[in-house]
A and B are shown apart, each in its own frame.
Chain A
Amino acid sequence: MYEFLNSYILSFLIFFPFITGVLILILPISHKIGSFFAFLSSTIVLILGIYLFFDFQEISATQYREIFPVVPSYGINYMVGVDGVNLIILMIIATAFPALHLILKSQQKGYWANMLLMQSAFMAVILAEDLIFFYAAWEAMLLPVFLMIGVYGKSKDKPKAAMNMMYYTIFGSMFMFIAIVYIGELHFEQFGHYSFKITDLQNIVIDPNEAFWLFSAFMLAFAIKTPLFPFHMWMPEAYTKAPAGVTFALSAIASKVAVYAILRFVLPLFPEQFVLHSEFFVTLGLISMIYFGVAAVAQKDFKTILAYSSASHLGLIIAGVFALNIQSMVGSIYQVIAHAMTSGIMFLLVAKIARDLQTRDIRALGGLAVNAPIFALFFAIAMVSSVGLPGTNGFIGEILMILGLFELGVVYGFLGTFSIIIGAVYMFIIYRKAILQNTNSLTEKFTDLNKKEILAFLPPIIMIFVMGLYPKPFLKKIEPTIKMQYERFIAPNLEKRGK
């Protein structure tokens, strides 16, 4: 049993939610029982995730690898594995979903079934080591999101938001798909057989000109998904119009998947291009950080502010990924976790506001802290982590990224440091307007979190401090992988950068 579990644990994490989700949809069971089974399923995934986290060896190699040929003649495999970087993201996916059941009030089994399909797709995307499988999972990720915005979204123009998001992301991934096929073809030319295993594809030699186009095709897909300026048009609408669970998943997980995919696929496949164009993407990331941060300042919709805030943070994370040193890359991954927690908490708390008061307009809010001190406290803790207060996990990621940017160049570091001002500005303004100040006739009936909700929020709230004060266990898991990637893909190309 133990060995069986160890060899198939990843497949279990991917397919168990999927099968449960499909069964819930097609079996004639009540909404209540369906939701319960969804909760049960995500709890089992969480338990396995925790097991995996502690069982994982702190080395750079990929572990728990499973390979199963799907289309042998074209070298298409089902291939999954865990290293220090996707382990962390796996943990986010595993922990996030059970808690949602305690917080979101949806009674629809379809809602929860779709959430399970989403979880399955997320797991598949981050565990994939075969490009075709990765692509399939990448697109599969979109379907439940699309359906949920369309079916469970609240606004009138939700179809437009859903379509916009589809168009944008499919547009990006279309080019990525072409690039994937092209790379597979290159492998065939050079080695005589097809393969889409990332481990094989690293060995092919790509002409720099071709590499540039292939690199760009991949980066386009990921820049849209993140989103980076100016590929973000779908983001404010989709985030704002989507039901709470989806906004949560988009911000806390889907955007991080893009960051992860850059490190997992783009860096090993196109190390030279990665290094060569790093400053372009650092600049784009910094522009995004400032652009979205400034855009957040004067927003009136609480959720739109958080959407822009999320995009602003991701801008800095992308800058960190491309800053060409270990500190900034580790910092980016660390910030991926920290931001998943903080933005997740904030989006869910805002979902409560919208549910209880039927509005997210901050002009109509105010004084929530009066009747809901624990709600206000939890929001404040997520907020200070989001603005990078030392002692919280947000600080560790931010300081490492900014340090890395300084090592890349003083100007980049200088611009990156603006993040500590801009985040504080919009966050503290909205906290004042929506949560502090005095109550009005609407907000005086706002109630505090109940016991179940407190229980659901407490683990990430505690983790914010644990990871801020004692980051070592997490850094130790991330660093070996990043260090290996740095030494293998970045360091040899630094000289060619001509500086």
Chain B
Amino acid sequence: MGFVSLLVFLPFIGGTLIGVAYLAHLKGFKISQKIFSLLAIWAPLASAYLGAKLFLAVYNDPASAITVKVFQWIEVGDFTINLSFYVDSLSALMTLFVTFIAALIHIYSIGYMNKDEGFAKFFAYMNLFLGSMLMLVLADNPILMFMGWEGVGACSYLLIAFYYKDKANVKAGNKAFIINRIGDFGFVVGMLTLYVVVGKYGFDFASLKANAFLIPEYTIWFITLFLFVGAAGKSAQIPLYTWLPDAMAGPTPVSALIHAATMVTAGVYMVARFSFLYAEVPAVGELIAYVGAFTALVAAIIATKQTDIKKILAYSTMSQLGYMFIAVGIGAYSTGIFHVFTHAFFKALLFLGAGAVIYALHHEQNIFKMNNLKSLKIVYFPMLIATLAIAGIPPFAGFFSKDEILLNTFASGHFLIYAMALITAGLTSYYMFRLFFLTFHNREKSHAHIEQPPLIMTSILVILSVGSVFAGFAGLPEIFGGSNFIKSFLSHSLVYKAEFAHVSHSLEYILMALAIGISLAGIFVAYKRFFRYKEQSELKENALVVAIKNKFFVDEMYERAFVVPLVNTSRFIYGYLDRVIIYKIVQNSAVALNRVSHFYGRVFQNGDVKWYLVYMLGAIAAIAIYLEGLINV
């Protein structure tokens, strides 16, 4: 298993190499784009190969978890942290699809970023991102996980602010980084509290799992709640979600890889990784499930009125992440990870398809201004498959995982959450098909020239289409004659304690039909409204629509509630507290001292700097003479 460390380190090496090459390139040592392309993809490809190899090894022996120690990282007193990797069924599955999708997106990006002046810089960041993501997934302890966690955040910042000459992009990057830092605050508080309680007996996941019983219940509450703050920041859950829609400022492949398929699901992964703690406190889980349900619903509502193709997809990501948190919240951890898995395929496909659309239309992102793109079959069909998948239409990938979430929510007795999730499902198929029809069907004829996306991009769409069709079969439920491979595979890594009522097969069919029916209804409404839509915008405007279009003014509220007060406090400290209050106190004490020693003051404090120097030299001379006197004694 020694190759695990290679798997993680290769993208870091690749990123550093291409970064150095890029700097050399900037300084006059010209390197062609072909060489940069090779430098860009060798590491992700090698990682994908090793990722598959790793998965196969674990697939053959899913019960055994292996730790690969590289070296001892930090050791102070009893605080010992290794740089080592933990391979079990959970991390192996994550590694498999993260490396696979990352490799595909790297290849796609060679076409998408063609002739961009930051071509090499882009791949340096993407490689570093992949390395960090793998470190996050394969980390053997929370501190190392945090290293990956922060690494992906930093790369996300760099890629959002990629076109940094534009102020809006850099602001979006800052917003992402700072809001994530607020989440990280929770992560650190939870993680270090955990250390203080049981870390002395070993701070790797295996030891923590074994010693979790030593932690008092209220401490688990505290730890899990704060860890979830971290997860909410990274996975864009309410109230820490506002950065994700803005993060679409980055190039589209970034949105596909980081802000859809991999990084944003890290929060879900983290909760699953800590399932041995979350399983002990169902009430915290319930809270998470409600946050997830609420996020899923609100994001879906906002998505119905957006006009930017990438923004819609961003809100849909947020909404799908909400589903995942419902699953892990109610204790169905493997179901949450199953949705992470299928979502990675169809959401990456949606973004890469959107990227192809944007490429074809010369950077047009408003779906109401898009031409009739039906003729572009190589984009049309993959996008249709992905849209069906996210809408939850069988047999596409999203159906199985989403249905499992709905079923488990129902079986766990959380009917309110179930209802919210069901409504979200209807909204999802509505806004996704609204996007689809407006992009591909609304015009009679195309007006502008359509730029044909190159093969290197479209071939990736085809590969991901296959995944979006078949990924769901990895968790084929029992009633379709499957054995739910994902669930049994992950059962070796996760801890289940939640109780799910038995649902009879007939009830399961009814629930399934209900979900499919609602999804179809959403598609039908979208079809009615937008299949032949001709206008350049949506016409109906009332107060509610305005509120939804403006994302319920949450950004503005945050600005008023947090940003403005912080800046004002800062000005108050510097302008008033420091310069007036404390300065006056100090000055007045000095004046008071001066008055006490009035005579001294009159003679010496004449305000002429050179005299002070004279006094000081005099004083030094006096001390020197005094000391000399002592020596002579």
Asked whether B514 is an interface residue with its Cβ less than 8 Å from the other chain, the reply is: no
Q: Once the chains bind, are A370 and B165 in contact (CB under 8 Å)?
A: yes
Residue B74 interfacial (CB < 8 Å)? yes
Q: Are B630 and A396 in contact (CB under 8 A)?
A: no
Q: Do B574 and A299 have beta carbons less than 8 Å apart?
A: yes
Determine the chain B residues whose CB is within 8 A of the CB of A167 once the complex forms. 590
B378 within 8 A of A: no
Find out whether the CB atom of A402 lies under 8 angstroms from the CB atom of B630.
no
Task: From known contacts A71-B627, A236-B578, infer whether A421 and B185 are also in contact, taking CB-CB under 8 Å.
Answer: yes
**Do B193 and A471 touch (CB < 8 A)?**
no
Does A183 make an interface contact (CB < 8 A)? no
0/1 per residue, B567-583, Cβ < 8 Å to A? 10111011000100011
| Residue A475, interface by CB 8 Å | yes
B73, A471: Cβ atoms closer than 8 Å: yes
The answer to whether B178 and A438 have CB atoms under 8 Å apart is no
Residues of B within 8 A of A374 (CB): 23, 27
Q: Is B75 an interface residue (CB 8 A)?
A: yes
Q: Is the CB of B147 within 8 A of A71?
A: no
- For the complex, is B209 an interface residue (Cβ under 8 Å from A)? no
Are A414 and B170 in contact, with the CB atoms below 8 A?
no
The answer to the question of A129 belonging to the interface, with a C-beta cut-off of 8 Å to chain B, is no
Given A74-B630, A390-B150, A400-B79, does the pair A367, B165 have CB atoms closer than 8 Å? yes
Q: Is the CB of A420 within 8 A of B143?
A: no
Judge whether A377 is part of the interface by a CB distance below 8 angstroms. yes
A414 touches B189 (CB 8 A): yes
For the complex, give the distance between the alpha carbons of A421 and B582 in Å: 26
Chain B residue numbers with a CB within 8 Å of A390 are 143, 146-147, 150-151
Contacts of B184 in A (CB 8 A): 420-421
The count of residues in chain A whose C-beta lies closer than 8 Å to any C-beta of chain B is 66
Assembly CA distance A429 to B571 (angstroms): 15
Contact string against B for A residues 384-405, beta-carbon threshold 8 Å, 1 for contact and 0 otherwise: 1000011100011001101100
Given A402-B188, A475-B74, answer yes or no on A298-B143 (Cβ-Cβ < 8 Å): no
Q: Are B76 and A326 in contact (CB under 8 A)?
A: yes
| Distance between B25 CB and nearest chain A CB, rounded to angstroms | 10
Tell me the complex Cα distance, A76–B76, Å. Answer: 37
For residue A437, CB closer than 8 A to chain B, the reply is: yes
Q: Which residues of A contact B573 (CB under 8 A)?
A: 291, 294-295
Specify which of A230, A384, A436 is in contact with B170 (CB 8 Å cutoff).
A436
Q: Do B578 and A233 have beta carbons less than 8 Å apart?
A: yes
Residue among A298, A396, A420, A438 making CB contact with B181, cutoff 8 Å: A420
Please tell me which one of the listed residues B23, B79, B633 contacts residue A373 in the complex, with CB atoms under 8 A apart.
B23
Question: By the criterion CB–CB under 8 Å, are B71 and A470 in contact?
Answer: yes
With an 8 A cutoff between CB atoms, is B510 at the interface?
no
**B174 cross-chain contacts in A, Cβ below 8 A:** 428-429, 432
B72: nearest residue on chain A (CB-CB)?
Answer: A472
Looking at the assembled complex, report how far the CB atom of B151 sits from the nearest CB atom of chain A, in whole angstroms: 7
Indicate whether A491 reaches chain B with its CB closer than 8 angstroms.
no
Query: Do the beta carbons of B164 and A437 come within 8 Å of each other?
Result: yes
Bound form: Cα–Cα A407–B79 in Å: 12
- Out of A330, A331, A369, A424, name the residue touching B164 (CB < 8 Å): A369
Are the C-beta atoms of B185 and A163 separated by less than 8 Å? Answer: no
Q: Does B431 contact A (CB under 8 A)?
A: no
Does A327 lie within 8 Å of B77, measured CB to CB? yes
B566 at the A interface (CB under 8 A):
yes
Asked whether, in the complex, the Cβ of A297 is within 8 Å of the Cβ of B189, the reply is no
Q: Is B26 at the interface (CB under 8 A from chain A)?
A: yes
Judge if B177 is at the interface, Cβ distance under 8 Å. Answer: yes
B79 and A377 contacting across the interface, CB-CB below 8 Å = no
Taking the complex as formed, is B52 at the interface, i.e. its CB lies under 8 A from any CB of chain A?
no
- The verdict on A420 contacting B570 (CB below 8 Å), with A327-B77, A370-B165 known, is no
- Complex interface bits, A269-306 against B, C-beta within 8 A gives 1, otherwise 0: 00000000000000000000001001111110000000
**For residue B574, which residues in chain A have a CB less than 8 angstroms away from its CB?**
236, 295, 298-299
Cβ of A417 within 8 Å of any chain B Cβ, yes or no, is yes
When each residue 63-91 of chain B gets 1 if its CB lies under 8 Å from chain A and 0 otherwise, what string results? 00000000111111101000000000000
Cα distance, A76 to B583, chains bound together (Å): 38
Is B182's beta carbon under 8 Å from chain A? yes
- Say if the beta carbon of A212 comes within 8 Å of chain B: no
A71 and B75 alpha carbons, distance in the complex (Å): 44
A134 to chain B, nearest CB (A): 15
> Which residues of B in the span 492-516 have a Cβ within 8 Å of any Cβ on A?
none
* B171 interface residue (CB < 8 Å to A): yes
Q: What residues of chain B lie closer than 8 Å to A483, measured between beta carbons? A: 77
In the complex, residue of chain A having the shortest beta-carbon distance to the beta carbon of B154: A389
Contact status B79-A424, CB under 8 Å: no
B540 at the interface (CB under 8 A from A): no
B96 within 8 A of A: no
Contact B609 A406 (CB under 8 A): no
Q: In the complex the two chains form, is A389's CB within 8 Å of B150's CB?
A: yes
Residues of the B chain whose Cβ atoms lie less than 8 Å from the Cβ of A377:
23
Instruction: Check A295–B165 contact: CB distance below 8 A.
Output: no
Residues of A within 8 Å of B77, CB to CB, are 325-327, 330, 479, 483
Pairwise interchain contact A384-B154, C-beta atoms closer than 8 A: yes
Chain B residue nearest to A426 in the complex (CB): B570
A425 beta carbon closer than 8 Å to chain B: yes
How many angstroms between the C-alpha atoms of A479 and B76 in the bound complex? 7
Contacts A391-B151, A402-B192, A437-B167; A327 near B146 (Cβ below 8 A): no
A407–B197 alpha-carbon span in the complex (Å) = 9
Q: Which residues of A contact B583 (CB under 8 A)?
A: 233
User: Is A150's beta carbon under 8 Å from chain B?
Assistant: yes
List, in ascending order, chain A residues with CB within 8 A of B566's CB. 294, 297, 425
A residues near B381, Cβ cutoff 8 Å: none
Cα of A377 to Cα of B181 in the assembled complex, Å: 21
CA of A369 to CA of B182, assembled, Å: 27
Q: Do A436 and B161 touch across chains, with their CB atoms under 8 A apart?
A: yes
| A297 and B567 form a contact (CB under 8 A) | yes
CB pair A410 B76 closer than 8 Å? no
Q: How long is the Cα–Cα vector from A420 to B193 in the complex, in angstroms?
A: 16
Residue from B26, B147, B590 having most chain A Cβ neighbours under 10 A: B147
Task: List the B side residues contacting A299 at CB < 8 Å.
Answer: 570, 574
A403 to B170, CA, bound (A): 32
B128-147 CB contacts (< 8 Å) to partner A: 143, 146-147
**B168-210 interface with A by 8 A CB criterion:** 170-171, 173-174, 177-178, 181-182, 184-185, 188-189, 192-193, 195-196
Expressed in whole angstroms, the minimum distance between the Cβ of A180 and any Cβ of chain B is 14
Which residues of chain A are near B173, meaning CB under 8 Å?
432
Please tell me if B553 contacts chain A, counting CB pairs below 8 Å.
no
Q: Closest CB-CB distance, A178 to chain B, in whole Å?
A: 14
Complex Cα distance, B623 from A70, in Å, reads: 14
CB–CB B76/A233 < 8 A: no
Contact with A along B245-286 (1 / 0, CB 8 A): 000000000000000000000000000000000000000000
A73: CB under 8 A from chain B? yes
| Contact between A297 and B188, CB atoms less than 8 A apart | no
Answer yes or no: A8 CB below 8 A from chain B CBs.
no
Is there an interface contact between A472 and B75, defined as CB atoms closer than 8 Å? yes
Q: Does B586 contact A (CB under 8 A)?
A: yes
- Pick the most buried of A71, A403, A417, A432: most chain B CB atoms within 10 A of its CB: A403
Report yes or no: B630 in contact with A73, Cβ–Cβ below 8 A.
Answer: yes
Tell me which residues across on chain B come within 8 A of A12, comparing CB atoms. Answer: none
Q: Check: A182 CB closer than 8 A to any chain B CB.
A: no
On whether A410 and B26 interact (CB within 8 A), knowing A436-B161, A472-B75, the answer reads no
Q: Are A421 and B165 in contact (CB under 8 A)?
A: no
Render B466-491 as a binary contact track against A, CB cut-off 8 A, 1 for contact. 00000000000000000000000000
Residues of B102-136 contacting chain A, CB below 8 A: none
B165 with A418: CB separation less than 8 A = no
Q: Can you sample 13 A-B contacts with CB below 8 Å?
A: A70-B627, A294-B566, A295-B570, A327-B79, A396-B74, A403-B196, A420-B184, A420-B188, A421-B184, A437-B170, A438-B165, A471-B74, A475-B74
Besides the known contacts A390-B147, A395-B147, 16 further A-B residue pairs in the complex with CB atoms under 8 A apart: A71-B627, A73-B630, A150-B609, A163-B612, A233-B582, A294-B569, A326-B77, A374-B27, A391-B151, A402-B192, A406-B193, A413-B192, A425-B181, A432-B173, A469-B73, A472-B74
The 5 closest A-B pairs by CB, nearest first: A390-B147, A298-B570, A297-B570, A436-B164, A326-B77
